[in-house]
Structures are given as structure tokens and as C-alpha cells.
A and B are shown apart, each in its own frame.
Chain A
Amino acid sequence: MDVIPAWFKDLYETTGLNFTVFYDPYDWNRYVDGVRMTVVLTVSTILASLLIGAVGALLQGAPSRIVRGAINGFVVLFRNTPPLVQIFFFYFGIGAILPAGQDQFGLRQPFIDNVDWAIIALSLFAGAFNVEIFRSGIEAVPKTTVEAAEALGYTRLKAYVYVILPLALRVCLPALNNNLVNLLKTTTLAYAIAVPETLYAVKQIWSESQNVFEMMLVLFVTYGILVGILVWIMHRWEKSLHIPGYGR
């Protein structure tokens, strides 16, 4: 299995293209850790934002005006402010006020660290978009279907979980797909609060090895592959949930 490192070493000696990640195990490990962190961020934020979207869309139809207003305010606020500032606001603004413990050297050790804050902030950001996407799907479910569910003795919550949401989900999958790909791209912003994700790892490598151009290529290809995988999964999902008779 020394073929690949040897080839990249040879490439460096002959052409000067220095892909350190492919022959230096230290850089390789850093890079893989970065990609792993990006995947962790993406998967956890996708799950959390889907949950926020589903719950938010349910609460948007709540009887209480205050709850509805609060959800609308949340959506409008998070849609119209920069995600980077949101991350800073959460990490520095709220993180600095919250109580914190101490590690063995007496340094301040917050209970919610930068990775957690990145996940929280990004989930809220993507969740705000998901609320709207789910709502558009819910509006596509005919009133008669909801009434039929009620006639069968479903409670409001049960009708939502078992009847409305499954139908709504199928309608809004294309839009959801778009938003989740966007979310994957937004995880790079966690770089700003020093979460060691792909961009951060790659930046460390290129500032040590002075191979900006080569690492840029690696970075683009990495994100291309990650986006490709996500799109592939979403399309598989879309296909498996497809209702016969709608679309092609």
C-alpha cells in the first residue's frame, strides 16, 4: 500500500506539486480528523434541524397566538441575519455569560464547548429554514385528509406524526435537499470559532507546508465529494418515499 504515497512523493520531486496529505501520515491524520469533524457537524446539525423544523411547523399551527408569534419571530430573525454573526453571538455572547467549570490547571472550561455551540447555532439557523419548508409541505396536505384522520380518532399530535408529516415530507423533499446541502456548506463557518473541521485542518496544513494551491484543490474535491454523497443519499430517500402517480 505504499504505491500512493510513493507516487505523490514522486509527483512532488518531479513537478513541485506538494500534496503533503497523501504521503505525510501526520498531515493525513489531521485531514481525516477534519473531514470526520465536518461529517459529525453535518449529521448532527441535519438531525437537529429536521427536528426543529418538524416541531416548529407543528407549533406554527398551534392554537395559542403567543406560540405562533414566537415561532414566526424565530424564523424571521434567523433567516435574516448572517449565520456567522449568529455563531459569534452564541459562542462569545452567550457562552461567555454561562457558568463554567475549571480544568486541572485552573483555566476556564466551559460546559458547552465550541463544537457544541457550532452545532447549536447551525441547527437553529438551518432549522428556521426547515420550519418554512415543512410548513409548505403541510399546506399541501388537503384539509379533508386531516379531517379524515380526526374522524378516525387521531389526536392533533398523532394526526401530525402519523398522517400529515409523512405526506408533507414527500412534498418538501426537493426543497429540503437544497437546504441540507446548504447546511453542509455552512458548516465551514465553524472555522471562525476554531472548530477543527475540514477547512481548519487544511488551513493548518497549508500554513505549515506552504502548499496553498494543492490544498485548495484537495479542499474543493473534498467538499465536492461530501456534497455528492449527501445529494445521492437524499435522492435515494426521495425515490424510496415516492408516491406513485405524482411526478415522474
Chain B
Amino acid sequence: MSTKDTQMRADAPLPVLLPFRIEPTRLGTPRLAPVHALLFGAGLALFAGTAWAQADNAQLPPLEVIVKWAPLLLSGFAFNILISMIAMAIGTGAGLGVGLGMISENPLLARICWALTQFFRNAPWLVLLFFVMFLVPFQVTIFGVQIPLPDWVKATVGFSLPVMANVAEIVRGAVRSVPSTQWEAAESLAFTPRQTMWRIILPQCVKRMLPPWMNLYSLVTMATVQASIVGVSEMLTLTAQVHTAEGGRPELFAPLYGFALFCFFLYCYPIDRFTARLERRFHIR
């Protein structure tokens, strides 16, 4: 504990609480031994075996169903990732603009950007998705050229709206966290406000914005499955279709949705851990 902290605690009338921060839980990487593989294999065999015993002999056991349909399901998962990346790209671009607008000197612009952020941050993602799906036409005509807007494009736009609002908050928070002496120093060196922002403040902000930004990306990836509710054929939609194609047996639900959970876990968990590492590294006290 630094002397500054001790000082602060001694000054407080009730020195009962330490400074705190939330650090994501990390599961230690287990050390795998051959016995684990054996146990895993035995578990799988038991799992498949019981399902096999329940099912008729003509039907595939759950594990084989997953293996059989894995290419299709994984292509759906890749589609989810594609949607999340595009939504993140659009949202980050727009959010940077809105976030800088929120801290601009112009009170009207700041007000508008603030209202925009609050609106899109406080509406549920699914509601925003419906909003875009129903109110954006299925094709637009620009200069006489008809551009069709397929469902997945609209869904992507729908996801980029909350991303925009959240990125705007991240940008605002990061810019506010830069010490005001930096602004003054830049001013004394005769930088214009624009130069100060782009060449001095924002480069310092990038590393502060990175962990929350990655957190947001992980949230977006997990939100993309909501597109299945409005009929985009991504992983969850395909999972339901595969289930129907395999005869709609009730015991297939758990393995199929479990597989979807597993895929998302494999993708999001490394991001989560990396975010935690960056957070520790860039932590400002």
C-alpha cells in the first residue's frame, strides 16, 4: 500500500473501506493429465450411451448429430461473428463522433449527443433490434439505384446503435480521465484545440479505452444471437432447424443448445481473459 493511500485512509473519519475495483474472475488453466482425457472420454461415452439407449436404433445419438451438423452450425457461428464485427466497426466510428460531440464546446451539439447516448443506452437491445427491423424499409433507392437491405444488414445496423451509445460513453470517460494539465500544456505549446484532441488527448485515451471496448465487443458477440428472434439465419436459428431436421426429439435440445453455448464460450472467454490482463496493465491509480 502506497503512502498516499494510507494518508487518505487516516484522514477519513471512518477508515473502514479500502479502494476497490472489479476484476473479472479467472478460471485457472487446468493442468491436463491423461487421466482427464480418460475421464472425459468415459463421460462422453456414458452420455452418448444413455441417449442412445433412450433413442430408437434408427436415430443418431446426440453426439453424432452434432458432429454431422457441425459444419453448418459453425458456419452460422461465423455469421454471428461477422455481424458482431461489422456492428462493432460501424458503432465505434459513430460512437467516436458522438462521444467527441458530447464533450464539445458547442452546448447544442453536446446536448444532442448526450440525448442520443442516453436514448440508445437505456433501451433494451432487443427493442432496438425490432425498431430497426420494422422501421427500416427492405430496400432503399439512392439516385435511382435500388439497394436491397437484407435482414442481416438491418440487424447489424440495429446492433450498432447501442454500440454507438456505449462507445460514446467510453470515449467521454476516457477523455475526462486525462489530467487537465495535459490540456494546459498543449495550450501553452500553441496547439489548436483540434490538434490537442487528435495528437495529444486521444492517443493517451486509446489504452484506457481498449479494455472496456473489448468488453463491449464480447457483449455484442453474445447479443448477435438475438437476431434469430427477428429471423436472421444465424447460429441459433440454424440450431432450431437442425433440431427439426433430426426429428424434433426432446432429448436433442440440451446437446444442441449446449453446443451453441460451448462455441460462444470458446470465443468469448479468451477475450474476457485478455481484457482482464489489459485492465490490470493499464490500471490507473
User: For residue B14, which residue of chain A has the nearest CB?
Assistant: A245
Distance A169 CA – B130 CA, assembled complex (angstroms)? 36
Interface centre among A81, A86, A171, by most chain B C-beta atoms within 10 angstroms, is A81
Which residues of chain B are near A17, meaning CB under 8 Å? Answer: none
Residue of B nearest to A187 (CB): B124
Tell me the complex Cα distance, A155–B98, Å: 52
Q: Are A96 and B253 in contact (CB under 8 A)?
A: yes
- The residues of A that contact B119 with a CB separation of less than 8 Å are 220
Q: Which residue of A lies closest to B221 (CB)?
A: A82
Tell me whether A9 is interfacial, beta carbon within 8 Å.
no
Q: Is the CB of A140 within 8 A of B134?
A: no
Q: Is B260 an interface residue (CB 8 A)?
A: yes
Which one of A21-29, A44-52, A71-79, A233-241 is at the interface? A71-79
Residues of A within 8 A of B20 (CB): 136-137, 139-140, 171-172
Chain B positions within 8 Å of A185 at CB level: 122-125
Name the CB-closest residue of B to A189. Answer: B126
Contact A216 B135 (CB under 8 A): yes
Interface of A is mostly: helix
Known contacts being A89-B257, A216-B134, A227-B122, is A84 close to B17, with CB within 8 Å?
Answer: no
With both chains docked as a complex, state the minimum distance between the C-beta of B132 and any C-beta of chain A, in angstroms: 10
B274 at interface, CB cutoff 8 A: no
Interface residues of A, count at CB 8 A: 59
Q: Are A89 and B124 in contact (CB under 8 A)?
A: no
In angstroms, Cα B25 to Cα A135, docked, is 10
CA distance A167 to B20 in the complex (A): 12
What chain B residues lie within 8 Å of A167 (beta carbons)? 16-17
- CB of B223 within 8 Å of the partner chain: yes
Contact of B122 with A212 in the complex, beta carbons under 8 Å: no
In the bound complex, residues from chain A placing their C-beta under 8 Å from that of B221 are: 82
Complex Cα spacing A139 to B224, Å: 34
Residue of A nearest to B269 (CB): A80
- Interface 1/0 per residue, B112-133 and A, CB below 8 Å: 0000000100111111001100
Check B124 against A139 for contact (C-beta < 8 Å). Answer: no
**Is the beta-carbon distance between B27 and A93 smaller than 8 angstroms?**
no
Report the separation of the CA atoms of residues A78 and B179 in the bound assembly, to the nearest whole angstrom.
Answer: 37
- Which chain B positions have C-beta within 8 A of A141? 16-18
* B17-A97 in contact (CB<8A): no
- Which chain A residues numbered 121 to 156 have a C-beta less than 8 Å away from chain B? 131-133, 135-137, 139-142, 145
Closest to A184 in B: B124
Give the complex CA separation of A73 and B28 in angstroms: 10
A140 touches B265 (CB 8 A): no
CB atoms of A189 and B226 under 8 A apart: yes
Output the least CB separation between B119 and chain A (Å).
8
Given A81-B222, A187-B124, 9 new contacts (CB under 8 A):
A77-B261, A80-B218, A85-B225, A136-B21, A136-B22, A142-B16, A171-B20, A185-B122, A199-B130
4 closest cross-chain pairs (CB), A and B: A93-B254, A140-B20, A96-B250, A245-B13
23 A-B pairs whose Cβ atoms sit less than 8 Å apart in the complex: A76-B26, A79-B272, A80-B269, A80-B272, A81-B264, A85-B257, A85-B260, A85-B261, A92-B254, A93-B256, A97-B253, A131-B25, A132-B24, A137-B20, A141-B16, A145-B16, A172-B22, A175-B22, A188-B125, A220-B119, A220-B123, A243-B17, A245-B14
